[in-house]
Structure 1
Amino acid sequence: MTLTIPVKIRVLAALLASAVMSALYARGGAGWLLGFVLLVPCLRALDASPTLTGALLRGWAMSLAYTAGAFAWFGTAFGHYTQIGDAAGLALLLLAAPLFQPQFLSFALVRHVTRQRHGVVPGALAGAAAWVATEWLLPKFLGDTLGYGLYPSVLLRQGAAVVGTAGLTLLLLLANEGVAAALAQRAGGWRASLRPLALAALAPLLLAGYGQFALSASPAPEGKPLRMGLIQSNIIDYERQRQEKGTAAVVREVLDTHFAMSYDAVVRQHADAVLWSETVYPTTFGHPKSPAGAELDREIVGIVNAAGVPFVFGTYDRDSAGEYNAAAFVQPGAGLLGFYRKTRLFPLTEYVPAWLDGPLLRRALPWTGNWQPGNGARVLPLRLADGREIPVLPMICFDDMDASLAIDGVRLGAQAILTMSNDSWFTADPLGARLHQSAAAFRSIETRLPQFRVTSNGHSGVIDATGTVLAGTRMGEQALVIAALPVNAPAPTLMVRWGDWVGRVAVAALLLLAAVSAFPAWRASHATEAEGEPAGDSVAFNLAAALPARVAVLSPAARVVTGLLRTFSRGSLLWMCLALLFNEALRTNTLAQIRLFSTLFLLPEAVAWCVLVFCSAQAMVVDGKLALTRGGRRRELALSEIAAVQLWRLPIPGPGLSLRLHTGRRWRYGLALTNADARAAARAATAGRPAQQSVRAVLQVYAQSNLAIRRSRLDHPLPKYILLPLALALPAFHLYQHIAYGSAFGEYYSFGLKAYLSAFALWWAAWSIGVVLTEALLRAAISIATLLTALLRPARAIAIRRWLERAGHVALYLGMPGWLLLTIYRA
């Protein structure tokens, strides 16, 4: 399709604006705020493309603009490293932009196709999922992702402990989509733009809220600190120095410099251990290639013995398969303790894939190495002079871009991360070195492990569990960094428990979307539903047959109050789930759980219930009027004035009805449905679904599916909140009595009936809270799944909701006892 000149100019302007914002975003500081809008111009350009080919071309242009804005430094650094010149390096980078940032092509493709078939909102969600899934399936050349740019925000970056950097990227993309949608709807007035803007604001608000919670809820680090000495020698470009001074002179200078700075670290600064940078010892330690190499090995061991503290440094290792970029652990009095071999080698410099390697490539790229990759994370001990043995996870350079390595290290028992890097090829472009350190800091956030990171010439730093650099160096200086951080076994984060889960979920979501789109029966039913829907917001109804006997008559103020109370109480349950997940002290303190549960859930829930009871009324239709009677008071509304009955699209404080009058306005009172079965009211509210795929349509389908399900006897409070916790508490309490007191009634024999019953009451209360919290998580999952179904397949919403409810019952009534039995069996 031939673009007109104005359209071309608009597209070019959009690409330029995104490129400029990407450049500012990559440079950090306050630029992190641009992460929520930097793609908006490009998204508007994508929206204007009517064809798939046009969308792909604009996706390619987006990858070019983003690469030029955020990674121009890499092109010049590559040109300098390979000696082809800065301009040539930048040109090659831009030429390879689609390979360097492939997620833009999949994003543009999936987003365009989904928008065409399913609408704007599914298109935004599918596009974001495609972006994240591509980065998960196709590891990128630098391992970068959009979420790394949030590092300057202490609050927002804490979300990486839950969703990783992939999750941060997903939230940034959705925020950009919200802003772009608001701009697209600005012609409809500020109200039309306000909704997508509010959704866009959810991303930073959620991240900030969790960040505040994580920083305030984290207990003060315990345990004796580990005091490390980091040696940044600022000796770089070994190859050039070898040519000028000779190999022996260069090695001598490197070792003498490190020996002198290590002496300062140990003797004067009292470091517990010493860390040198990547490949600082430029030959195979422990496997000497010559008598001179064996002598240097002995010299290093002698220095370590004299220092009396362990040394960790970058070197080479080798076996029958070849050589490895490695980290050596040398222990005083014991010599070489072991090696860690670098797992993530940098492509086309440290290694070449076997399918690409050959004499032709080696001639064209003479700088390429032939190191072998290591076999994953390895935890090695630091045996300190005071008798402590601290398990640490070594990582070398590009390893720190792989979250899975750090997660595996925590699972193996690591209590600190030791990172070694050689960022000297960023000497002329220090932005790259700073971004590398920012990315490495996310490994500490995801695992809550302290990190000691040393490089040859900057940036070196000591990073705490929140990702903050407590002490560090600038680029291009010789510096000794001494810092101490407490080390212990941290409470596992969600990333440690589940791994880098957001990418897997994104892939699964895309596969599900593809399956749904390919299923012709669902497409046909959806088309039939759309064609058969009546226009407008309501149709005729039979209010007399539909209304339950009791309703709560709520003024707008009463509904707001009860809605806020209910929202706070239900949200508090989810907050407690997170608190129990990340706070081990709370998990073992039943009394603290009871206090929190009573204050944050039971109290506001009870107040909301009292308001609803106070506003309750008897509803009936008498003489052509809707009569609402409470005590001696009676409100009446003529049926002839009512034009439509509509469900509350947001079931807050619960399911309910609004009455729309013929004047076009709603009756000022809403009717909250207080009876257990509101299905008749759902049938009475025959309001049709608004324009396809609008937010109002999705909420309408969601509300109808929610009320259309007949509640099971398993949803009654007696079996759910009394009998199920009792069934769980009995075996757990029985096992506890045997372990703590030697028999089933040990506590009774030792301390009497009151103590025995009090202990059992605490166990019962703890399991009751556990059941409520588990149900809250299941409710949240069912609600989210129902919303997605209402969005993608509204005709199937009720059927899928019915299966989700059944699955929830299975998970609650069989899953919790099964988990308990498995726990007892393992014990």
Structure 2
Amino acid sequence: MLACILASAIMAAAYARGGAGWVFGFVLLAPWLVALDALQQRRSPLGTLLCAWAMSVAFSAAAFAWFGGALGRYTQLGEAAGIALLLLAAPLFQPQFLAYALARYYTRRAAGVLPALAAAASWVACEHFVPRILGDTLGYGLYPSPLLRQAADLGGAAGLTLLLLLANEGVAGAFARYRSGWRAMARPLALAALVPLGLAAYGWHALSGAGNGSGPGAAAAGKPLRMALIQANIVDYEAQRQQKGAYAFVRELLDQHFAMSHDAVTRQRAEALLWTETAYPTTFGHPKSEAGAEFDAEIRAFADAAGVPLVFGTYARDGAGEYNAAAFLEPGRGLAGFYRKTHLFPLTEYLPTWLDGAMARRWLPWAGHWLPGNGARVMPLRLADGREIPVLPLICRDDVDTELAIAGARQGAQVILAMSNDSWFGAGGQGARLHQAAAAFRSIETRLPQFRVTTNGYSAAYDAYGEVLAGAGLGSAGLVVADLPLRQPAPTLMVRWGDWVGLAAAAFLLVLAARALAAAWQGRRGAGGVRGAASAAQFPLRVFVLPPAARIAAGTARLVARAGLLAMCLAMLLNDTLRNNTLAQLRLIAVLFVLPEAIAWCLLMAFSAQASLANGRLLLARGAQRLEIDLAHLAALTPWRLPLPGPGVDLQLAGQGRWRYGLAVPDAARFAAALGQRAAVRGADLLDVYTQARLALGRWRLDHPLAKFVLLPLVLALPAFHLHQRIAYGSAFGEYYSFGLQAYLMAFGLWWAAWAIGVILGATLLRTVIEGGSLLAAALRPGQASQVRGGLQNAAHAALYLGLPAWLLWRILGA
């Protein structure tokens, strides 16, 4: 296993370095998958989990050691300490390995390519829903191949990742069959080979002129935009500020940008200027000192003299606080507006509200106080010749978010303007190359060309296919001037559908889960959903030994609780205000349902006992109290005709009639079978037929309250809350970034509670239909009452466990 993991890590290191290493993307996970196959044959879930953990550590060390070193240098802990922290946090940094391995393990018995599809879907779904600092994914490694990267306009980088995983599965499958000869290996190898061949064919189609950039529906290209990118190569702002003083450092920084910009406008005829993130490292338009006011005026005067628009990184400020921003300055008109960075870097640009405090600031003195922006914003770039070009600004981590680029394309942007400060990545360039590739994919996905400038490299101009038309290398000052043809491209599939691959993968996993549950359910039931001979209950078993008064009281409380739920269903249908007020719903359900249900539960607990069998006797024990019933004296068990406060039985004793206590048990038929009895019902009147139909059906495992009312709402709340955060706050953790952990968790709790209430009320209505339909069938068609009840329960389960997720998925895809 360790050898396989080491082999995968070595190939991952070569793949992450770029260049010709992209070919390893189709095989780098195959050795690890061979190790997983061996563990799965031993049926070892713990071993599978440990293997996934080890691979996440090895992958982090091979592909992202530079990130740990950069964090160590930035925090002054040292590179070794930074790398050690990275490796310790590897399962959090790369959780997709755990999701992949577990999905593969639990679908291992499925035939064909289903385990591979389920595992690949788990990987991309995990990457979609779990926030990632760098937004990294395997698909980015295909950037060096102009042909293979073009399919990103269909499924984004996530789509390429999915295909790479399937290719790796094909190679691993071929290796698993090598003892069976080449014929057995040919099929998985052919499937693996289809991935690069298909990507190459699509790439050729796109680059031949039939792709989205110039295909049918695309507007004709107008006059190109000639823009200059200023890569000043001035890094480590804080050290230089301390060494030279704040004024002298800003003076030097601006002078360098002024000189390079002047050359770009006068000698190279640039029509617009783009400076880097925080090129002016103080608030523009809201000076904090007289020197700051002088610098502001100097920047305005330079733009007026140059006669071209200037876009530069700075800080914006309002009543709420400061923002990392891009300022749009127009000659003769002044400030046209700001774009505020959406995705701040945690623990460096900001501290969460719950963590922010004097102690945290002492331990993290470098952490800033900036606030996040509120998503994509298309800004007008007004040129001297009268053209007004809609542009999409992105700052640093913004360009790893596919949804921001898609939102800009939908708002009509014709070019992306990206700016970043990548100097903290270090001199090796691996982090800067990854960031460059991620940014280039935003152009491929939307078919929007892009100007991207960084402090010390790599600055470049990209066409709509992600190709670098002009650029500056790493670690040197460079002036990049390029012409990009502009058009309004026909919307790509990504622009039309959004970042859909992760959502589709999650939906696929839900379908697989529902399919597996349905198969397990059908395996436990007889033909037509009717149970044959009852299996025996497992002893010891908890039962409730109820005297008549206790049963009446608990049953009444349960009836009140169920009636309260029906009343709340009616109130929700008639009252729009209540439907939109989760807190009011919680209060109402607490009074109408939780309180009477708690009373019934307390009454039952007061009469709970443990039932067991020993020496031909039924033993009922509660602490020191014991009741014994000789099974030889047990004449019959009669199920309760009305299952209140739940299902139960009356014991008929030979020569004594009915026992004075009733037994509330989870399943009357199984309890009777365990005692060697049959659940006796007369089968004559309506309630007896109804009882027989109820006893003929087993209980589905997902009918357990924990599964139905806790886990199902959680599964539904997670994607809904994720979508809400992206719409309302611009990212999956937007509310957390803005208002802290407490507000974020409270908001999620309310979403979870709202879905739980919805599931409870929906289940109540479905249960009403089931019981009402069963009674009607018992009255009209007593011989088919069991089949009717089985059909109603099947339909209710489908509505609850398939209908609700399907409706939610439809709403998400529509949004």
Does the 8 Å contact 1:182/1:194 carry over to 2? yes
Matches within 5 A, 1:367-446: 367-446=366-445
Deviation at 1:308, TM superposition (A): 0.5
Three-state SS of the structure 2 residue aligned to 1:519 is helix
> 2:83 and 2:75 mapped to 1: Cα distance?
12
| Residue equivalent to 1:563 | none
> 1:144 and 1:420 mapped to 2: Cα distance?
18
**1:84 and 2:77 matched:** yes
1:72 to 33, 55, 65: 65
Deviation at 1:360, TM superposition (A): 3.4
| Residue equivalent to 2:244 | 245
**1:106 and 2:99 matched:** yes
**1:53 and 2:35 matched:** no
1:142 to 118, 134, 138: 134
Matches within 5 A, 1:104-253: 104-116=97-109, 118-119=110-111, 121-216=113-208, 217-218=210-211, 219=214, 222-253=221-252
Does the 8 Å contact 1:185/1:192 carry over to 2? yes
Indicate how the Cα distance of structure 1 residues 383 and 507 shifts in structure 2: closer, same or farther if over 3 A, else same: same
**1:517 and 2:522 matched:** no
| Residue equivalent to 1:700 | none
Matches within 5 A, 1:445-460: 445-460=444-459
Deviation at 1:202, TM superposition (A): 1.6
Deviations 1:277-311 (A, max 9, x none): 00010111011112221121111101000000000
Deviation at 1:119, TM superposition (A): 4.1
Indicate how the Cα distance of structure 1 residues 526 and 237 shifts in structure 2: closer, same or farther if over 3 A, else same: farther
Three-state SS of the structure 2 residue aligned to 1:313 is strand
> 1:472 and 1:76 mapped to 2: Cα distance?
26
Deviation at 1:121, TM superposition (A): 2.4
1:57 is aligned with what amino acid?
Answer: L
Q: Which moved more, 1:342-351 or 1:327-336?
A: 342-351
Deviation at 1:361, TM superposition (A): 2.9
Three-state SS of the structure 1 residue aligned to 2:107 is helix
Deviation at 1:77, TM superposition (A): 1.3
Three-state SS of the structure 1 residue aligned to 2:390 is strand
Indicate how the Cα distance of structure 1 residues 204 and 84 shifts in structure 2: closer, same or farther if over 3 A, else same: same
**1:37 and 2:36 matched:** no
Indicate how the Cα distance of structure 1 residues 464 and 525 shifts in structure 2: closer, same or farther if over 3 A, else same: farther
Deviation at 1:358, TM superposition (A): 3.5
| Residue equivalent to 1:484 | 483
| Residue equivalent to 2:779 | none
TM-score by length of 2: 0.62
Three-state SS of the structure 2 residue aligned to 1:366 is coil
2:363 is aligned with what amino acid?
Answer: A
Deviation at 1:172, TM superposition (A): 0.4
| Residue equivalent to 1:18 | 8
1:22 is aligned with what amino acid?
Answer: A
Deviations 1:329-363 (A, max 9, x none): 00001000000000011122112233343333332
> 2:265 and 2:427 mapped to 1: Cα distance?
32
1:524 is aligned with what amino acid?
Answer: G
Deviation at 1:439, TM superposition (A): 1.0
Does the 8 Å contact 2:427/2:475 carry over to 1? no
| Residue equivalent to 1:286 | 285
> 2:443 and 2:519 mapped to 1: Cα distance?
47
Indicate how the Cα distance of structure 1 residues 59 and 120 shifts in structure 2: closer, same or farther if over 3 A, else same: farther
Matches within 5 A, 1:496-535: 496-520=495-519, 523-524=522-523
2:202 is aligned with what amino acid?
Answer: Y
Does the 8 Å contact 2:150/2:203 carry over to 1? yes
| Residue equivalent to 1:560 | none
Percentage of pairs with the same residue: 68
> 1:273 and 1:527 mapped to 2: Cα distance?
75
Matches within 5 A, 1:355-754: 355-520=354-519, 523-524=522-523
Does the 8 Å contact 1:427/1:476 carry over to 2? no
1:80 is aligned with what amino acid?
Answer: R
Three-state SS of the structure 1 residue aligned to 2:113 is helix
2:188 is aligned with what amino acid?
Answer: P
1:370 is aligned with what amino acid?
Answer: H
| Residue equivalent to 1:697 | none
| Residue equivalent to 2:723 | none
Q: Which moved more, 1:419-428 or 1:36-45?
A: 419-428
Three-state SS of the structure 2 residue aligned to 1:177 is helix
1:35 is aligned with what amino acid?
Answer: G
> 2:34 and 2:450 mapped to 1: Cα distance?
41
1:344 is aligned with what amino acid?
Answer: H
| Residue equivalent to 1:534 | none
Deviation at 1:364, TM superposition (A): 2.3
> 2:257 and 2:514 mapped to 1: Cα distance?
60
Higher relative contact order (CA 8 A, sep 6+): 2
1:45 is aligned with what amino acid?
Answer: A
- The CA RMSD measured in Å over matched residues stands at 2.0
Deviation at 1:526, TM superposition (A): 12
Count of matched residue positions in the alignment of Structure 1 and Structure 2: 521
Does the 8 Å contact 1:59/1:108 carry over to 2? yes
> 2:526 and 2:423 mapped to 1: Cα distance?
60
> 1:96 and 1:296 mapped to 2: Cα distance?
43
1:94 to 79, 82, 87: 87
Q: For structure 1, which runs of at least 5 residues remain unmatched after alignment?
A: 1-10, 529-827
> 1:212 and 1:298 mapped to 2: Cα distance?
51
| Residue equivalent to 1:819 | none
Deviation at 1:522, TM superposition (A): 5.9
Three-state SS of the structure 2 residue aligned to 1:314 is strand
Deviation at 1:527, TM superposition (A): 12
| Residue equivalent to 2:710 | none
TM-score by length of 1: 0.62
Does the 8 Å contact 1:427/1:475 carry over to 2? no
